[in-house]
Structure 1
Amino acid sequence: MTMKTILFSFSLIIALAQYSCNSASTGKSGQEGQATVNTSLKTDEFEKKLLATEGGQLIDVRTPEEFAVNHLANATNMDFNGDDFAEKIKTLDRNKPVFVYCLSGGRSSSAASQLAEAGFKEVYNMAGGMLNWQSEGKAVVTGEAPQKTSGMTAADFSKLTSSKEYVLVDFNATWCGPCKAIAPMLESFASKRKDKLLLAKIDVDMNSELAQAKGINSIPYLELYKNGKLVWKRVGSLDEETLLRETGL
């Protein structure tokens, strides 16, 4: 190999590396090669951006049952976990901004990524979802379905958390993957300490008023009560070792 060939090859490698870096700096690209906006916004920012955007497409990615109870005004329901989600998003305009939300932000975050990968140019996810939206007192549209019962009252909850020396409260939802993942561990943990510990599972969908009153905007969410007094709380997944270390049980 001549010196001229070596120099040419080295220059080509540098040029390709620079191109790769420049391409990466523009963010994820859509199917037409244009930069795609895929970002999460706090509820106030999400609301302002939606109102200021002409032709914005608002998508509720919860289940039809959740949507039927309540939803944001002018939202269209496309169940992210439904078999037809990929087909339904094809009915949207890829060149117009899409706004997505769910109950707590998990499903909508995944949906936003799928939309960006499908070539949508602007995708906005509402961080904290409907839990945050409602905890801030923002308006929702009541659906045609019969309203779910408000669930457990504050008095009921107080009675529950005082029913044993220790009460571990697991706030969850049927659609929540991380909630399902830690459920067996929580049950095993409680079973080993059943003489002094009660595990109470509370579905935030079925107990929306309690969840709103407690300001719960992300699940799984755990609380530990000792003789009726809150002594520990945690948002998110964890393993048994961490639970033991943090609670001291």
Structure 2
Amino acid sequence: MKKILKNSIKAFVFLFTIAGFAQNQNTFTLPIDSFYAKVKEQKNPQIIDARSSDEFAINHINGSVNFNLETKNYAEYVARLDKSKPVFIYSIASGRSGQLAKELLKNGFSQVNDLQGGIAAWIGAGKPFYSNSKSKLTLAEYKKIIAENNTVLVDIGSQYCGACKKVKPVLETIRADYGTNLKIVEIDLEDNPQIIADLKTVKVFPTLILYKNNKIVFKKDGSADLKKDVDVALAH
């Protein structure tokens, strides 16, 4: 009896593992290079921007359609997609795109690809995008700022990014502590998409870069321990 029970448990675990593995084969959170390569393999790629309509209107990946789980006519958008072909989803991070990916899988889509780093990774890698605004800051102007100031802290993000908003009070503390000894440059996607593309270094929002004497001291994906890292870097 114990042997039968033991075998039954093993069989259950095996089936559960297989089921989970099978589902994982259909959804991938892909880094930008893999995501872009798969998009290029498709003649007419199904790309979904899972951000708000306001965000989409400002900038988006060329050829993408805009909807998410909160869209009023969500079912109509889904019905227009081909379930047998790959779907490519992005947002700012993985929140809205990840939720949409799970829902599409439940509805029988064969393969769903979620972009790691979202729109930041796409534009940051210099991939083609639409924008209704021209960057206020050029790459030449950016380089001039870095060259003309001994120490520069650059904050790259988006006004729609929750994590980016948390950086602002930290920047104010740093600004108060260092004053004119540290130049702080804030670059938002909505105002400066092209400079983010030209830098080809942004993979996620927020990205923080500290320059000293025209050289990068550190580059951080995210703002964890930002104040501490700045203090340590400038103490030397």
TM-score by length of 2: 0.74
Q: 8 Å contact 1:168–1:199 — kept in the other structure?
A: yes
How far has the Cα of 1:219 moved from its partner?
1.9
Q: What are the equivalent positions in structure 2 for 1:1-249 lying under 5 Å apart?
A: 7-8=1-2, 11-12=4-5, 14-27=7-20, 37-43=26-32, 45-50=34-39, 52=41, 57-79=46-68, 83-84=70-71, 88=74, 91-93=77-79, 95-96=83-84, 97-102=86-91, 107-116=96-105, 120-134=109-123, 138-140=127-129, 142=130, 147-161=132-146, 165-194=150-179, 196-215=181-200, 216-240=202-226, 242-244=228-230, 247-249=233-235
Q: 8 Å contact 2:125–2:203 — kept in the other structure?
A: no
Could you say which structure has the larger radius of gyration? 1
SS at match of 1:193: helix
Residues 100 and 167 (structure 1), Cα distance of their counterparts in 2 relative to 1, 3 Å cut: same
Residues 20 and 114 (structure 1), Cα distance of their counterparts in 2 relative to 1, 3 Å cut: same
Q: Give the Cα–Cα distance (whole angstroms) in 1 for the partners of residues 148 and 169 of structure 2.
A: 22
Q: Which amino acid aligns with 1:179?
A: C
Q: 8 Å contact 1:36–1:121 — kept in the other structure?
A: no
How far has the Cα of 1:210 moved from its partner?
1.0
Number of residue pairs matched?
231
Q: Any stretches of 5+ residues in structure 2 without a counterpart?
A: none
How far has the Cα of 1:38 moved from its partner?
0.9
Q: Give the Cα–Cα distance (whole angstroms) in 1 for the partners of residues 147 and 172 of structure 2.
A: 19
Residues 245 and 84 (structure 1), Cα distance of their counterparts in 2 relative to 1, 3 Å cut: same
Q: 8 Å contact 1:41–1:127 — kept in the other structure?
A: yes
SS at match of 2:20: coil
How far has the Cα of 1:212 moved from its partner?
1.0
How far has the Cα of 1:74 moved from its partner?
3.9
Q: 8 Å contact 1:62–1:79 — kept in the other structure?
A: yes
Q: 8 Å contact 2:157–2:164 — kept in the other structure?
A: yes
Q: Give the Cα–Cα distance (whole angstroms) in 1 for the partners of residues 216 and 33 of structure 2.
A: 30
Q: Any stretches of 5+ residues in structure 1 without a counterpart?
A: 1-6
Aligned to 1:3: none
Cα deviation per residue 1:76-116 (whole Å; 9 max; x = unaligned)? 11156xx437x615741584442212356665345424544
Identity of aligned residues (%): 28
Q: Give the Cα–Cα distance (whole angstroms) in 2 for the partners of residues 26 and 89 of structure 1.
A: 27
Q: 8 Å contact 2:47–2:63 — kept in the other structure?
A: yes
Residues 72 and 171 (structure 1), Cα distance of their counterparts in 2 relative to 1, 3 Å cut: closer
Q: Give the Cα–Cα distance (whole angstroms) in 2 for the partners of residues 117 and 187 of structure 1.
A: 45
Cα deviation per residue 1:168-190 (whole Å; 9 max; x = unaligned)? 11111112222223332332233
